[in-house]
Amino acid sequence: MTAPPLMTAHLSRKISVVVAVYQNQGSLTGTHDQIAALFEGPLKGHQLEMVFVNDGSTDGSLEELRAIHRADPRVKVLSFTRNFGQMAAMLAGFAEATGDAVINISADLQDPVDLIPQMVSQWQGGAEIVVCYRTNRSDPAAAKAFSWLAYSLLRIGVPQIPKGGFDYVLMDRIAMDQFNAMDTRHRFFQGDLLWPGYRTSFIPYERQKRTIGRSQYNFAKKLKNFIDAILDSSYLPIRAMSLIGVFTSFLGLLWAITILVAWIFGSTPFEGWAPLMMVTLIIGGMIMVMLGIIGEYVWRINEEVRKRPNYIIRDRLHDQNSDR
C-alpha cells in the first residue's frame, strides 16, 4: 500500500538536534543515547544530525563529547574559546545545523526527549515552529516566582509567549533561516522566534527534575536574560518612563498650584525641610532609574555598532563526509 504523499515527502528528511553544553559532564552520553534511540524507533525513516556546542566548560564535558563523536559520526561538536553564554551556544548550533528541521533541547535531560516524535509529527502536519512550553517545573519557590513575574511582564510585549516560557522547540528550515538572518546581539530567543508569525503549534509539558549535576543558570544570568528580553522585545520601559514623567509632572503642577494659592492667602502648606527632602529624594531616585534604563539602551547600541562576534569557535569536530 502506498504511503500518503505527506509522509513520503518527509521520510528521508534530516532533523538536526542542537544541544548547548556548559558543565554537563555525566549527562551528555545519556542525552545522546536517548535521542539516537528515537531514530532507531519511531523516527527511523529520518536522518539524524546532532550538534553539541561546548560553551567553555571547565569540567569533563568536552572529553565526553569527543568520545560521543568518535562513536557516532552523526555528531558534530563545536567548542568555544571561553564561556559566551547559552544564547551564543544556541546561535552557533543553529548556524551549524543543516537539517530540514532543527530542534533545540537542553543537555541536562530535563526536557523529555520522548516529545520529539510528537514535535516531528506536528511539523509534518504543516507547523513551521513547534513549541514545547513548561506548565510546571521542579524548581525552588523563589525561582518559580521570578519566572512567573518575568514572563508576565514579557507577555505584555510578546503576548504569544506561553506563561511558562520555552526553549525546547522545533523549527522548520524556513523559520531557522529567518532566525539566523537576524544579525543582532543580546538576542531574545522566544521573541525573535515568534515575531515573524510562522505557523506555530504548542505542546505543554512538565519540566523534569535534574538528576545529574547542578544548574549553572544562576540568578544573575536569569536577571541578565530578563533585561535583554524586556529591552529587546518591548517598548514598555521607555513607555513606562514617559508615563511616569507625565504623572510626576502633573503632581508637580498640582503642588505648585497649592503653594501659589497658599502664598496668595498668606500661608504656606508646609513647614520645615522634610517635605522638600522627600520630594527631592523620590524625584531624584526616579531620574536615576530612568537614566539607567536609557544607559542600557545606549550600551546595546554601542554593542551593535562595534559588531563583535557573539562567539569564537576554537575547535570543530565533524564527520569529513558531512555537509560541513
Q: Give tens-digit pLDDT for 15-40.
A: 999 999 999 998 999 999 999 999 99
The tens digit of pLDDT for each residue in 156-180 reads: 767 777 777 788 999 999 999 999 9
The tens digit of pLDDT for each residue in 226-266 reads: 666 666 656 667 767 777 777 777 777 777 677 667 767 76
Question: Has domain 5-233+309-317 been given CATH number 3.40.50.620?
Answer: no
Would you state the pLDDT for residue 7?
42
The tens digit of pLDDT for each residue in 110-136 reads: 889 999 999 999 999 999 999 998 887
Would you state the pLDDT for residue 144?
66
Evaluate whether 142 touches 223 at the Cβ level (below 8 Å). no
Would you state the pLDDT for residue 324?
57
CB-based contacts of 20: which residues, under 8 Å, 6+ apart? 53, 55, 86, 89, 90, 93, 104, 106, 107
pLDDT > 70 in the chain, percent: 73
Pick the more confident residue, 113 or 189.
113
Grid cell of 107 as nine digits: 543537555
46/128 Cα distance (integer angstroms): 17
Q: How far is the CA of 104 from the CAs of 33, 77, 257, 268, in angstroms? A: 16, 15, 60, 66
First and final C-alpha spacing in the chain = 37
Overall average pLDDT of the 302-320 stretch: 82
Would you state the pLDDT for residue 67?
96
CB-based contacts of 114: which residues, under 8 Å, 6+ apart? 38
The candidate with the shortest Cα–Cα distance to 174, out of 191, 196, 189, is: 196
| Mean model confidence pLDDT for the chain | 81
The tens digit of pLDDT for each residue in 279-296 reads: 776 777 778 777 777 877
Buried b (16+ CB within 10 A) or exposed e, 243-258: eeeeeeeeeeeeeeee
Grid cell of 238 as nine digits: 521607555
Would you state the pLDDT for residue 225?
64
48/64 Cα distance (integer angstroms): 20
Domain-wise residue ranges, the chain: 5-233+309-317, 236-306
The tens digit of pLDDT for each residue in 49-101 reads: 999 999 999 999 999 999 999 999 999 999 999 999 889 999 999 999 999 99
Q: Give Cα 96 distance to the centre of its chain.
A: 18
CA torsion angle 211 212 216 217 (round to 10)? -30
Would you state the pLDDT for residue 217?
57
Pick the more confident residue, 38 or 308.
38
Pick the more confident residue, 306 or 55.
55
